[in-house]
Amino acid sequence: MSKNNKKNKKNFLCIDCNEETNNYYKVQTNRGDIIKCRNCYELWVLRENRANWFSPHTQGKINMEE
């Protein structure tokens, strides 16, 4: 007798691309949790880091001491 160790993954609707996925991230906001699929979440993180990197406060510096 073999056990079935696979969990039943729930499908959620991604808030950005409106596609159902079982590979998702929960993002906490002031209004509650939202669900983003893996691709949308990773693109959002990359864009957020790019925006922070080129902000007028850092001007492309690694830290504020430079």
- Tell me the per-residue pLDDT of 25-55, one tens digit each, with 9 for 90 and over: 999 999 999 999 999 999 999 888 776 666 6
In the prediction, which pLDDT does 17 show?
Answer: 94
Residue 11 has pLDDT above 50, yes or no: yes
| H or E segment and range at residue 36 | strand 32-37
Give CA–CA dist 57/1, Å, rounded.
Answer: 62
In the prediction, which pLDDT does 49 show?
Answer: 79
pTM strictly above 0.95: no
